[in-house]
Structure 1
Amino acid sequence: MGLFSSDGRSRAQRKAEAKALKAKAKLEAKLEAKDARKSAKAQRRDDRKFRSKELKQQRKTAKAEGKAQEKVVKAEAKANAAKAKALADAKAFSPTSVRRYLTVARLLSPIIVPIAYRASVAARGQLTALQASRAGVAPEVLRQFSGHGATLSARISTTRASLEKVAAKDSSAEGSAFVSAMTARLDNLAIAVDTAESMPTAQRRTAHQSIESELAAIDADILARLGVRA
């Protein structure tokens, strides 16, 4: 009495079937997460190829603009130097010529110095933008860091911001556990970036590659958590 359901199955059979369904669902979720990571990896590979071509063209453009600005500055400096020399040669070493030369120099300095400074600032800004685009982070985030691992530190910071959004979206116990686990992994990667700064070049390069791979895996896990197939 009470050991069998209306369809003839025992309680043990129903329990076993429920357990099998739960295991199947867990396996399917695991396989889906694995597929998502593979898809994300393939997408990143395609994105890197596309960014590589785009960055190559941007570097050409930046280089051409830099050369053009440099030519303008050199041409103006050369013309101004020629004018100053002509004035000096007109009356060599006379008090009048010396005063005239100093006057010309004072007049030209506010023009030449700002042009050279703007060219230098523009070149640095273009380099930062290229590095940020290559790392997939915003230029203003990259500017907050320095050193050989600046781009990796910027990526870690960006991923932390993504985790904060995940935490805001999912406040369940499982969601909180996920965010805590990912945060701990990011903390370890940040320490690894700092440690790699003092390593020899070859060893540091290997460490950075490992850190980058781990960051890619964390990004894939976050996307999978959000139900996004990259």
Structure 2
Amino acid sequence: MGVFSSDGVSRAQRKAEAKALKAKAKLEAKLDAKERRRTAKQSRKVEHKFRAKELKAERKNIDHAAKARDKIAKAEIKTTAAKAKAAADARPLSPTNVKRYLTVARLVSPIVVPIAYRAAVGVRGRLTEVRASRAGVPADVLRQFSGHGATLAARIATSRSSVEQVAGRDRGDENQAFVKAMTERLDNLAVAVDTAESMPPGQRRTAHQAIENELAAIDADVLARLGVRA
């Protein structure tokens, strides 16, 4: 028979109840721990999901900001380039102005070029006449020569013509000897004119002065041979 306490409850019954309570408490603790773990896991999942959304939003904002900065930078580069082009176009010899000038030149050249050419030819003709007049030679003769010594070369050619006239007037030995001597002197002067072309300016002027003096002497001799006294 079981042992009963004074209140009528057996010791075994109390032990069983205590064990049941202990088991119940243990189960409740286990279930509570499990619930806490499940809640913590769910909380971490929600937090991770929320953080992922935040990171995605941040990346999106960064991308938008980068695109906005890139757009602003491109706009600034475009504005700077436009200002630089405007400044370059404002220069008289900018590529745009040169292109414009060339286009205009192509359009007007069929009209302007012939006029300019005729004007240039006229100016050169007048200048040649002035130089020929100063040198005492025909303009047509002066046009046959060029270079620094063109007027001297024209004078030599004119003097040759005069010497040829002397040769035709008298076929005597003495006169022909004179013509030969004058011709040789003129040949030497022609060589001197050609040589002076490559001289420095100072030496060339000195040589030209000497040639001019010799030509003046030859002209005086020819005039004397023709019976003209200067």
Q: Sequence identity of aligned pairs in percent?
A: 71
Match of 1:133 in 2: 133
Residue pairs, 1:20-59, within 5 angstroms = none
Give the aligned CA root-mean-square deviation in angstroms: 2.0
Match of 1:149 in 2: 149
**Stretches of 4+ moved more than 6 A in 1?**
none
Match of 1:114 in 2: 114
Match of 1:180 in 2: 180
Task: Specify the code of the residue in structure 2 equivalent to 1:182.
Answer: M
Q: Give the gaps of 5 or more residues in structure 2.
A: 1-102
Deviation digits for residues 137-191 of structure 1, max 9, x if unmatched? 1111111111111110110011001111000001100000000011111111111
The structural deviation recorded for 1:112 is 2.3
Q: In the aligned structure 2, how far is the partner of 1:175 from the partner of 1:212? A: 24
Q: Give me the TM-score of the superposition, normalised by structure 1.
A: 0.53
Match of 1:3 in 2: none
The structural deviation recorded for 1:109 is 4.2
Match of 1:123 in 2: 123
Higher Cα Rg: structure 1 or 2?
2
Q: In the aligned structure 2, how far is the partner of 1:128 from the partner of 1:198? A: 23
Q: In the aligned structure 2, how far is the partner of 1:133 from the partner of 1:195? A: 25
The structural deviation recorded for 1:120 is 1.2
Deviation digits for residues 117-143 of structure 1, max 9, x if unmatched? 211111111111111111111111111
Match of 1:67 in 2: none
- The structure with higher relative contact order (CA 8 Å, sep 6+) is 1
Task: Specify the code of the residue in structure 1 equivalent to 2:169.
Answer: K
Match of 1:211 in 2: 211
The structural deviation recorded for 1:226 is 1.0
Q: In the aligned structure 1, how far is the partner of 2:177 from the partner of 2:135? A: 28
Residue pairs, 1:76-95, within 5 angstroms = none
Deviation digits for residues 26-76 of structure 1, max 9, x if unmatched? xxxxxxxxxxxxxxxxxxxxxxxxxxxxxxxxxxxxxxxxxxxxxxxxxxx
